[in-house]
Amino acid sequence: MDSEPQPLAVPYAGREDNQAVPRGAAHTEGRSTDRPTHTPRDARNGDHQSRPGALPPAPGRLSRVLGRPAVPVLLAVVLVAVSWQVAVDGPLLGLDRWARSAVRETRHELHSALLNHLGKALSDLGGGAVAVPVLFLGGAVAAWRDRLAGVSRWWLPGVVAVLTAGLIPLLVVPAKAWFARPGPFGLPLAADQWGWYPSGHTATATLAYGVAALLLARTAGPRSRRRLAEGAALLSAGVGLGLVWSDYHWLLDVVASWCLGGLVLLALARWLPARRRPGGPGFPAGR
């Protein structure tokens, strides 16, 4: 009489996550996700409660995570290098003279009144009379939308906007007074002048429009966030280029303010908390 066949040893027996059990006793609990493998990726939390996905990061995410510190480091290096060259009147300032000469030649060849008016109009967008009200409006709209959504600390965007408006002169004015750099026309500074480095209009545009976009992006969907970021970047770039085109500033004055504003925006983006309902977890932004 044939003996009844014995069931084959199934390496997955007794495992809810359908994973093979190694031979011998082994402690199999406390996996990175503690979830079955059929759990959808967006339901896995792992160590990072606010970042769905399996651990370690999925392909592509790791490169983005590792690449993030390169941006502030690059901005800081450029800012320090340019500031040092301005302080010692170094050879890098030859780039300013080359850019000014090239812009003047181009302006003379084109002889376009439209471009000249456009350059001045773009420069004016960096003035406090234009940029700061946009900053306040962005903070007010973001606060209003947060309050309608029942967000705790809905008043935070308004406070951030006011603090940003006060931060701009604190960053720019002391630097202008310390470097005391003459403008593109080479005239010596008067006793009541601060100097041209860094560009105050560029810093104002970068921070005012950038912070307004950052605050509004917290209440917007992915497509709107991208458009807000692109709009702020274009406004900041337009103001800087308009200043150089109109001979109001040296190129490196503008570059330094772009770097300075970018560092502040990156720091604020990391510090600004996510939107949260009262007593609840973070919730997705509007669509």
Neighbour tally for 197: CB within 10 Å = 26
Q: What is the pLDDT of residue 57?
A: 42
pLDDT one digit per residue (tens) for the chain, 287 residues: 455 555 544 444 444 444 444 444 444 444 444 444 444 544 444 444 444 444 444 444 433 433 467 899 999 999 999 999 999 999 999 999 999 999 999 999 999 999 999 999 999 999 999 999 999 999 999 999 999 998 889 999 999 999 999 999 999 999 999 999 999 987 788 878 889 999 999 999 999 999 999 999 988 888 999 999 999 999 999 999 999 999 999 999 999 999 999 999 999 998 887 665 554 444 444 43
User: Is the whole model's pTM more than 0.85, yes or no?
Assistant: no
Distance in angstroms (rounded) separating the CA atoms of residues 233 and 258:
10
Residue 156 lies in a domain: yes
Residue 215 lies in a domain: yes
Burial track 66-83 (b if 16+ CB lie within 10 A, e otherwise): eeeeeebeebeebbeebb
Q: What is the pLDDT of residue 253?
A: 97
Q: What is the pLDDT of residue 192?
A: 80
Residue 170 lies in a domain: yes
Q: How many structural domains comprise the chain?
A: 1
Residue 23 lies in a domain: no
Residue 51 lies in a domain: no
Residue 166 lies in a domain: yes
Q: What is the pLDDT of residue 19?
A: 46
Q: How far is CA 77 from the centre of its chain?
A: 17
Residue 65 lies in a domain: no
Q: What is the pLDDT of residue 242?
A: 97
Domain assignment of residue 115, given as a range: 75-271
Residue 90 lies in a domain: yes
Q: What is the pLDDT of residue 62?
A: 33
Backbone angles phi, psi at 263, to 5 degrees: -65, -40
**CATH code, 201:** 1.20.144
Q: What is the pLDDT of residue 277?
A: 52
Phi-psi sector, 57: left (phi>0), alpha (psi -120 to 50), beta: beta
